[in-house]
Structure 1
Amino acid sequence: MLTYRNRLHLMAGLGAATLFGAKAQAASNYPRRPIELIVPYAPGGGTDLLARAFAEAAKPHLEKAIGVVNRTGGAGAVGLSEIMAARPDGYKLGLGTVELTMLPHMGLVSFKAEDFLPVARLNADPAAVTVKADAPWKTLQEYLDYAKANPGKVRVGNSGTGAIWHLSTEALADKAGVKFNSIPYDGAAPAVTALLGGHIEAVGVSPAEVSAQVAAGQLRILGVMADERLAAFPDVPTFKESGTDISVGTWRGIFVQKRAPDDVVEILREAARKTANEQSFKDTLKKLNLNWAYLDGPEFSEQVKAQNATFATLMKRIGLAR
């Protein structure tokens, strides 16, 4: 004869099995409707262009289309917060950037890096210093010498306070012993537009985000914060070559709410792997001068964890942590 406690255990077990079965069925039918891919920055920047390239290349690998939605503000905080707070069903993804390991240390957001589940890294790019083609500085050293002689006079645009391109400028200032006037925008594209309009003297964004203007002869890249010169810009020196030992950059990848069902995550991982390896996707990134840098979820998770710890230390040292 079943005791009252045993009956409760049996009923709980049956309820859990029913719930598990419902989740498994939901996952096996995933996706049943279109998927949103949230981009935390303005249209036209590197993150936005990457997201749209991914959404297009993913069409053969998911039964429903991915729609790109831009949610700007707060150096990515608005869009990243929406991803973190999303229903954990896999229908709202995020094109996350390195900022999700940085913003929490500034006390500007309610989320932590651990609130996101990495699905796949798609891209990684270094920071660069870019000026107008008619700027008086022809070399990185001339630029730094001027900044040192004129503290706070050089206005450098970035993609938002606390964003990686802001941090790259502050890290350079710390390393070179100079002071810049950092100007935040809602993404790299508005910062580049401001530079073209003469409202600022430089931008600290990635080479890909200025490549079209460089090719048109409007802008000039003085240096890249990478360990080696970039294949797309072989004539641009690294900062290390120019005597300033600094290497800073971003990564971009697909994230999902951390409580998303395992089966859904596996479907997304497989789709992301196939999409990242589509030749059309690689070709598009090459045209955009975005560096293809695929990593599967588990390996990507390790990088996110390591950089979260690194930025916690660095941002405290340069006075950006709260």
Structure 2
Amino acid sequence: MKHSKWRTLLAASMVLSVAALTACGAKTDSAASGAQGKKADFPKKAVTLIVPYAAGGGTDATARALAKAAEKHLGQPITVVNKTGGGGAVGMTEGANAKSDGYTVTMATVELTTLPHMGLSPVTYENFKPVALINYDPAAITVRADSQWKTMKEFLDYAKAHPGELKLGNSGTGAIWHLGAVTLEKGAGVKFNHIPFEGAGPAITALLGGHVDAVPVSPAEVKAQVDSGKLRTLAINDSKPSEALHGVKTLKEETGLTVSVAGTWRGIAVPKDTPDDIVKVLSDAFIKGAGEAEFKDYMKKNGLGIEIKDSKAFAQHLKENNELFGKLIPELGLGKK
């Protein structure tokens, strides 16, 4: 009887132990599943968007329109702050060195893949984690409406006859519109006098004031002045005409020249150590914002192109641009000394 009793107690004990272990395992699995499925507890406060150029340019305009469209999807305000200097290097360096908590994002531009190859910035695309690409725009070679040059051919013929005389304003040494001017210079066999400014906005102001002869900036950045009759765009350096500047032909159509296309793009990036779950929240909000009718209407009205890529596709875009300019810049004689 005793043995029978102990066997019964032992069996009962084993059943209870197995049940306890099963329950514990279920709790552990449930906890693990919950942890894996847990979304980032972000954001809890306003997000700062650094724009590395002056107010008034295409990058600033795109950033402000995007911030307005995206903040309702993010659930918090997005504050735009302009950090100028170094052709974009100052703002992008500050953005790369910000705390990796998602509360400081940067409007990264093509200069992120050009300035390092020129020895003008220690920050490369590898210092960032891409969030989303938003925009792409080609160069629009533009002069004052009352200038003596009515066509691109006349402009280049004058440049050939007067080497180094024509002053082309750009958005900063090593910035994309500087590269755009140099590619035109090399392709056309002419020599310009390159004048740097802290962004396209100040360069356009200088053009309006007669301090420079032309600017190679995006269609969006000159559209208002072209539409009002103050400026005239001579050609678009792209494979197709611009929708923003109706009637303006491409450089090849105007002159027969095939010049390397150097245009600008703009996207959102965060410091490289930012957690992926936070990047996902930001990416979703900014891409949804870029899809808002109000944002798309704003971009179209202001001549800004829209090109959307998610974090993964933007990462590949950054890599390809870095390789492109890593080869192009030394060929143009603008590489590190």
**Contact (CA 8 Å) 2:220, 2:244: kept in 1 or not?**
no
Return the offset for 1:274: 0.9
Give the counterpart letter for 2:251 in structure 1.
Answer: F
Q: Which residue of 1 aligns with 2:289?
A: 275
Q: C-alpha separation between the residues in 2 aligned to 1:86 and 1:174?
A: 38
Q: Which residue of 1 aligns with 2:218?
A: 206
Q: Which residue of 2 aligns with 1:167?
A: 179
Aligned length: 301
Q: C-alpha separation between the residues in 1 aligned to 2:135 and 2:207?
A: 25
1:1-322 matched pairs, under 5 angstroms = 28-242=40-254, 243-246=256-259, 247-322=261-336
Return the offset for 1:241: 1.1
Q: C-alpha separation between the residues in 2 aligned to 1:200 and 1:86?
A: 36
Task: Provide the TM-score with structure 2 as the length reference.
Answer: 0.87
Return the offset for 1:233: 1.8
Give the counterpart letter for 2:190 in structure 1.
Answer: V
Return the offset for 1:240: 1.5
Q: C-alpha separation between the residues in 2 aligned to 1:321 and 1:275?
A: 37
Give the counterpart letter for 1:164 in structure 2.
Answer: I
Return the offset for 1:232: 2.1
Return the offset for 1:293: 1.1
Q: C-alpha separation between the residues in 2 aligned to 1:47 and 1:109?
A: 19
Return the offset for 1:174: 0.7
Q: What are structure 2's unaligned runs of at least 5 residues? A: 1-34
**DSSP 3-state at the match of 1:61:** helix
Give the counterpart letter for 1:112 in structure 2.
Answer: T
- Following TM superposition, where does structure 1 have runs of at least 4 consecutive aligned residues deviating by more than 3 angstroms? none
Return the offset for 1:126: 0.1
Q: C-alpha separation between the residues in 2 aligned to 1:116 and 1:50?
A: 20
Give the counterpart letter for 1:258 in structure 2.
Answer: K
Q: CA RMSD in A?
A: 1.5
**DSSP 3-state at the match of 1:241:** helix
Give the counterpart letter for 1:39 in structure 2.
Answer: V
Q: What are structure 1's unaligned runs of at least 5 residues? A: 1-20
Q: Which residue of 1 aligns with 2:4?
A: none
Moved more, 91-100 or 242-251: 242-251
Deviations 1:117-139 (A, max 9, x none): 11111110001110000111111
Give the counterpart letter for 2:317 in structure 1.
Answer: Q
Give the counterpart letter for 1:165 in structure 2.
Answer: W
**Contact (CA 8 Å) 1:104, 1:113: kept in 2 or not?**
no
Task: Provide the TM-score with structure 1 as the length reference.
Answer: 0.91
Give the counterpart letter for 1:241 in structure 2.
Answer: E
Deviations 1:3-32 (A, max 9, x none): xxxxxxxxxxxxxxxxxx7xx98x722111
Q: Which residue of 1 aligns with 2:20?
A: none
Deviations 1:231-267 (A, max 9, x none): 2223101011121112221110111111100110010
Q: C-alpha separation between the residues in 1 aligned to 2:246 and 2:227?
A: 13
Q: C-alpha separation between the residues in 2 aligned to 1:197 and 1:291?
A: 27
Return the offset for 1:108: 1.4
Q: C-alpha separation between the residues in 1 aligned to 2:310 and 2:70?
A: 16
